[in-house]
Every structure is written in C-alpha cells, then in structure tokens.
C-alpha cells in the first residue's frame, strides 16, 4: 500500500525526455512506483489528470543558508517551497555561515554582518562546517539544504582583510580548511571573485584551493571576477582553468553580461532606457542576444575540450547585491571602521568619484582605480535602486532609484550613496538594472542561456526578512515556465523541467534528487502547465504564483493547493558523500 498515489499525471522524469502518462507512488521518503498502479490502493490519492508531475525544483544558486538556521526560517523561506523548490544549494559567492574562525573574528563579523545583520557570537554557536550542518539538522529544515565551503570566509579566517595575494603557505592553510569543510559535508567550494575579499585573490590561489576538492570530486561554484563584456571571457576562462587543472566540476554562477559603451555610454544608456519604456508596446528589432550566446558557446567549447562546466541564470533583468560592491576595491580595504572613515572623508569621496568616472576596466581588478567591474561606470548612476536598509529612518527609500534620492536631497548620487551608507553603518542592499526592472527590451539579452539545455535556472535568493525582495524569491520558476515556455515558446517543457531539476542535481552530485524514478527521493512537484505563472512584479514582489498544486519534500505533503503546512520541516541536510 502506498502512502501517496498520484494518478494519471503527465510525468516528466527530469532527464529532458518528453512526458508520459503514468502514476507515481510514494512510500515514506521514496518514490516506489513510476508506471501504472492499476488497482493499487494508497492512504492518499491525488488525481493529476491534465497536470504535470515532475521532480521538485533544485535551485543551484541560493543564499537561503543565511536564514535556514533561524527559528523563523520556515516562515521566511515559505515563498521558495510555494513555487516548487524542494532543494537549494547555499554558501554561494564565497559567503556562508561556517567555518567561523577566531583569529580574525572582528573582520569576519563585519563581513557577514553586511548581508545578515547577525551577531555571530550571540546567534551562531558553532565554528566548523560540520557543527553548522549538525545544528541545522537537529533543528530541522524546511527544504533540502546543501552548502558550499565559502572562500571569502575562509580567506578572512586566514588573512584577515589584507588586500594582497596569498602566500603559498597561506594557500595551503586555506586548502586545509576547504578540505576539512568538505570532509564534514560541504558540497564543494564557492567564491565571489568580484567582491571583497575574493577580489584580493588571483587565479593561482583558486587553482590551489580547487586542488583540495579533487579527492572528493567536490564542485567549484563561482561568482565571476567580472561580468563586463570586455573582460567576461577572461572571467569564464579563470573558472574553466580551476576545473580543468584539477579535474573537478565547476559552476559559473548567475551569468549575465554588461556592455561597455566607452565614451558613448551616457547617450547610449539613455536611449536604452527610453526604448525599454516603449518595449511594453513596441519591440525594436535590435540584435541583443549575442553577448550571452557567446558566453554559452565558451562554456560549450570548454566542455568539448574535457572540462566539466555548468552555468546558471536568473530569469530576470534585475540583479541585486550590496551597495559597497559598486565602489573601487581600494576603498574597501581594512575594517568597516576604515571603510566608514573613507566614506566620511571629502577627499576620499572625490577620489572614489574619479575612480568611478575615469578608472579603466582591466583584467584583473588589482590596481588602484583600474578594476574590471566598475558598475556605476558601465551602467550609469541610474542603474541603482535601494533594496534594503537596516534602520526605520530610511525605509522609505526602499524601491527608489539612487539618482532620485540624490535629486531630492540636492546631492550628487555618490554623496547620496556615501551618506546613506554612513547612516546605515554599511548595511545597504541594492537592485541593479540597465533600464527598467523586468523590461521587455533588456530581457531579450537573456534568451540564449534561458533556452539552452545546459544552463540551469537559479534564484540567487536572499530572504532575510527585511527590505524589498526580488520577485524571483516568490516566482522565479513559475515565471520561467509561464513566460518563457508557455508564452514565448523559447524551449519545450521537457527541456525546461530538466534545467530546473535533473541538470543541477546531477552537476552538484545530489544522488537521488532531481528525478522521478523508482528509488529516488520523493521530492515531487505537481503543477498546471496551462496556468502556472508569476503574479509578482517589482513593486509587488511577494505575490504568490498560480498553478502550483502540490509539493512533496521527502514524501511529505508540504504544499497542497493554497495550503502551506508550516508545521512540516520536511527537508534533509545534504552532505557530500
């Protein structure tokens, strides 16, 4: 007798093959039947006639691990499960909650606090990766949780905030931390090479740390050193070199490309913003897919040459990060007190503005005013909208453009940014977009990786209970299925499901996940392919999607129509084995 029997659904197994009409039986935490149940009985039967039955979604790039240990994480992460996510990979961009060292504890606190507002000593009673995974396992987790060892945290553990290349001995010490974290269950290593302190490293350091993954076949996931079109090829090649040299899998995180228009940037960006406003009614015939198609082609060539490379993309034109990521690397040296002092100093502000306005984007970003991802120079001051601040005083700025805040205050945008950072003690997260959030024009630049069968779909979730979240946090995958599969016909449904399930599960070595097969874990999603869609917008990002009917995590019925069973912590901690 089955615990659950899902009858008559169109079953997609997650491999990319077309769906077949079949029944799916669940016993305890496993799928025990894929086929025809005939006269079998079950404690609970679901008629899925006319509906899609597929594996639960595997999100390969998330920051939900920054929330998963909290007592209120079920409420915080509910939007993920409501859209069909059953598994996420956290610890991305070089940031995770373990291992937490003591040698440079103050600097580590400041680094993690920018995103989380957490007091490590009070709220994080662990040090090692193993202790962290044990803690969340004992407390229970809403959905399946895998975590990567964070390069940024490990580098601060060993070097503190120093802006220099690591010595061989320091690389060896970091490699020991990486290997220890993987021994204790981390799925691999992540890096955020655009950000402090990853920006202080070089390729030699990353190759050396990648070597620590080889014994375990651990994965290297990387937020690239640059997403500027003129240095993006080198950034991709850096990840390929780490993977190929060490014979390990690698993941290129949330791919996007920002064009560099050079001295003509301001009028071209103004034209793009004007066309983006019109694109709701009329789409100009512009060739926009080229840069990201070249990125996909570069990945495919690396695969043909023997590298094990994956890639993911967010189905959105609006990214998000912390405001300090827009500043030159030299301005971020030292402690938070050092950074705050620079932002307060008029002469330093003037130097920062000169660096943004006139700095040369070279590879890699190691020289004073020359760094490879000068976002304000590439995208203009208009690109930035406030996502989250820490204080109530400035909550009314959330959702506003930085240039509009500056105009209201009678300041230059840089002064408005610096003053806001000072008032918020550095805690300012922002949205970034070349034109309008989620506009139809710049959306077309994403179509090549959106449709390609070897590029996974990710959310880049940062759900911390503050600010204005991205609409992806509630509706990433319903948007992908509704807009790009059903409405725009960019790719067939079986390919889309593979990109959300079997592809990331296989690349991250998650055995028994991302598939509908007998013996696999019972992570199952049932949705209406004719209805599934996002209802969220930039201004109303938390609206729940439509068309998601049932979500099972390890055989437990977590979402049932409009009902979310908050009492179920059905997830498992996924340790590297």
CB 122 within 8 A of CB 175: no
**158: nearest Cα among 209, 90, 192:** 209
* Least confidently predicted of 136-140, 214-218, 555-559: 214-218
What are φ and ψ of residue 165, in 5° steps? -75, 145
pLDDT band at 161 (very low <50, low <70, confident <90, very high): confident
Average pLDDT over residues 411-424: 96
Give the pLDDT band (50/70/90) at residue 321. Answer: very high
What is the pLDDT, as a whole number, of residue 504? 98
CB 225 within 8 A of CB 366: no
**Do residues 213 and 206 make contact, with C-beta atoms less than 8 angstroms apart?**
no
Confidence category of residue 365, pLDDT binned at 50, 70, 90: low
Round the average pLDDT of the chain to a whole number and report it. 95
For residue 577, the model assigns a pLDDT of: 75
- Binned at pLDDT 50, 70 and 90, residue 338 comes out as confident
Tell me the per-residue pLDDT of 107-129, one tens digit each, with 9 for 90 and over. Answer: 999 889 888 888 898 999 999 99
Evaluate if residue 368 carries a pLDDT over 80.
no
Distances (CA, A) of 333 to 174, 196, 573: 20, 8, 36
CB 56 within 8 A of CB 80: no
| Opening angle at CA 560, ends 558 and 563, nearest 5 | 90
Map out the domains of the chain with their CATH numbers.
56-320+437-509 (3.20.20.140), 321-432 (no CATH)
Q: What b/e string do you get for 446-475 counting C-beta neighbours within 10 Å, with b at 16 or more?
A: bbbbbbbebbbbbbbbbbbebbbbbbbbbb
Tokens of 281: 């009614």
Confidence tier at 39 by pLDDT (50, 70, 90)? confident
**Cα(572)–Cα(144) distance, integer angstroms:** 5
d(CA 147, CA 132): 10
pTM, two decimal places: 0.97
Task: Check residue 174 and give its pLDDT.
Answer: 97
Residue 457 Cα distances to 194, 196, 208, 234, 478, angstroms: 21, 26, 29, 23, 11
d(CA 179, CA 189): 9
Q: Which residues contact 148 (CB under 8 A, 6 or more apart)?
A: 89, 90, 91, 92, 96, 186, 187, 188, 189, 190, 219, 221
Beta pairing class for 188-192 and 149-150: parallel
- Which pLDDT band holds residue 229 (cuts at 50, 70, 90)? very high
pLDDT value, residue 335: 77
pLDDT at 366 over 70: no
């Amino acid at each position: 007798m089955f615990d659950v029997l899902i009858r008559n659904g169109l079953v997609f197994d997650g491999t990319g093959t077309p769906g077949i009409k079949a029944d799916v039986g669940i016993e305890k935490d496993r799928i025990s039947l894929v086929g025809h149940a005939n006269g079998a009985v079950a404690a609970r039967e679901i008629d899925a006639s006319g509906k899609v039955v597929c594996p639960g979604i595997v999100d390969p790039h998330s920051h939900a691990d920054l929330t998963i240990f909290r007592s209120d994480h079920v409420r915080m992460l509910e939007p993920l499960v409501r859209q069909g996510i059953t598994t996420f990979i956290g610890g991305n961009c070089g940031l995770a909650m373990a291992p937490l060292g003591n040698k440079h504890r103050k600097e580590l606190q400041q680094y993690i606090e920018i995103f989380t507002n957490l007091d490590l000593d009070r709220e994080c009673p662990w040090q090692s990766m193993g202790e962290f995974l044990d803690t969340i396992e004992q407390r229970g987790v809403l959905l399946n949780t895998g975590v990567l060892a964070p390069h940024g945290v490990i580098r601060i553990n060993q070097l503190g905030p120093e802006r220099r290349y690591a010595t061989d001995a320091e690389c060896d010490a970091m490699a020991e931390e990486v290997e220890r974290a993987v021994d204790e269950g981390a799925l691999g290593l992540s890096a955020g090479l655009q950000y402090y302190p990853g920006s202080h490293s070089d390729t030699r350091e990353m190759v050396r740390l990648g070597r620590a993954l080889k014994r375990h076949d651990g994965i290297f996931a990387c937020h690239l050193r640059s997403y500027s079109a003129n240095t993006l090829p080198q950034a991709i090649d850096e990840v390929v070199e780490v993977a190929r040299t060490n014979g390990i899998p690698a993941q290129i995180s949330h791919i996007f490309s920002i064009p560099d228009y050079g001295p003509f940037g301001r009028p071209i960006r103004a034209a793009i913003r004007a066309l983006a406003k019109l694109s709701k009614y009329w789409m100009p015939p512009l060739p926009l897919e080229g840069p990201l198609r070249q990125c996909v082609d570069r990945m495919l060539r690396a695969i043909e040459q023997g590298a094990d490379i994956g890639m993911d993309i967010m189905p959105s034109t609006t990214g998000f990060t912390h405001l300090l990521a827009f500043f030159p690397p030299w301005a971020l040296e030292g402690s938070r007190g050092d950074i705050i002092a620079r932002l307060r100093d008029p002469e330093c502000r003037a130097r920062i503005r000169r660096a943004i306005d006139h700095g040369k984007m070279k590879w890699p970003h190691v020289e004073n005013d020359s760094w490879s991802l000068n976002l304000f120079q590439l995208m203009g001051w208009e690109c930035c909208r406030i996502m989250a601040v820490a204080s109530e005083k400035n909550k009314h700025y959330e959702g506003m453009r930085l240039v509009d805040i500056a105009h209201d205050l009678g300041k230059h945008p840089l002064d408005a940014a610096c003053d806001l950072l000072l008032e918020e003690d550095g805690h300012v997260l922002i949205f970034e977009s070349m034109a309008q959030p989620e506009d139809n024009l710049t959306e077309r630049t994403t179509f090549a990786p959106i449709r390609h069968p070897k590029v996974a779909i990710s959310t880049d979730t940062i759900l911390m209970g503050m600010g204005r979240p991205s609409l992806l946090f509630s509706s990433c995958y319903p948007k992908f299925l509704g807009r790009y599969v059903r409405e725009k016909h960019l790719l067939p449904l079986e390919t889309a499901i593979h990109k959300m399930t079997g592809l990331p599960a296989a690349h991250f070595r998650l055995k028994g996940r991302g598939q509908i097969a007998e013996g696999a874990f019972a992570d199952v999603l049932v949705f209406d392919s004719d209805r599934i869609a996002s209802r969220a917008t930039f201004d109303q990002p938390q609206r729940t999607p439509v068309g998601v009917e049932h979500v099972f995590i390890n055989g437990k019925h977590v979402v049932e129509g409009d009902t979310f069973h908050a009492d179920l912590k059905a997830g498992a901690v996924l340790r590297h084995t």
